[in-house]
Amino acid sequence: MEEKTETEKMVRVYIMGREFEVPATLNIVKAFEYAGYRFIRGIGCRGGYCGACATVYRFKDDYRLNFTLACQKAVEDGMYLTILPFVPAEKAKYDLDKLKPRGTVLLELYPEIARCVACNTCTKACPQELEVMDYVQAAIRGDIEEVANLSFDCIQCGLCAMRCPAEIVPYNVGQLARRLYGKYIAPQAKLTHERVEEIHACVFDEELDNYIELAKEDIEQLKKIYVEREIKVG
């Protein structure tokens, strides 16, 4: 008998406690679907950007709890896993226009960050490999810019909050810091303001109207226009 190719290899995974055999080439999202599960809400981009497929998994005879994004992790034999599309977490209410980027603002809105015991569990749980504990410590110090920079790639999956023994929600702290940094601290881009003013002045309206009219054409007419423009440009 011929040996199975890589694409034909199957692995055993356990979804909600039930055993399934799925192709070894699938990521966790696709493995769920292969096993018959349907995602009708929660799962979004499937590309590692939305943070809606936070996943917890273990292997048999291994006490360690592992964390990942289901769209970014290939299945492995013996995985016991579940996807957590939402991690309960309360967010502080604030009006960004009324806030000031003073050093105490993060601590005032999220006083629980003072409970951080620097265990680094949040960092170990982050599928983006961010230094979560470091930006929580920076938040305690009032360093808004440092928090914004260290949390820049956060996708709000919630795994850090789920693991924190001090019941901190680091991703909400990082989000507030990035908003404050963007509004009050980051250098303003001159060209961006100029372009916004041009939009308000309707500078591009005629061009946009042309595109709208172009979109109404049938496919054959679009091909003709494309060829004519190509010849003209050439």
pLDDT for residue 1 is more than 50: no
Cβ(42)–Cβ(52) under 8 Å? Answer: yes
Locate 126 and state its tokens. Answer: 């982050």
185-219: per-residue pLDDT in tens?
998 888 888 999 999 999 999 888 888 888 888 88
21 contact partners, CB below 8 Å, separation of at least 6:
10, 11, 12
- Enter the pTM of the model: 0.76
**3-state secondary structure at position 81:** strand
pLDDT for residue 226 is more than 60: yes
Cβ-based burial of 226 (10 A; exposed 0-12, middle 13-18, buried ≥19): exposed
Left (φ > 0), alpha (ψ -120 to 50) or beta: where does 12 sit? beta
57-91: per-residue pLDDT in tens?
999 889 999 999 999 999 999 999 999 878 889 89
Compute how many other C-beta atoms are within 10 angstroms of the C-beta atom of residue 138: 24
Compute how many other C-beta atoms are within 10 angstroms of the C-beta atom of residue 126: 22
Rounded to 5 degrees, φ, ψ at 16 are 55, 35
- Residue-level pLDDT at 99: 95
- Residue-level pLDDT at 211: 84
Q: Which residue has the higher pLDDT, 132 or 45?
A: 132
**Percentage of the chain modeled with pLDDT above 90:** 68
Average pLDDT over residues 154-173: 95
pLDDT for residue 2 is more than 50: no
pLDDT for residue 5 is more than 70: no
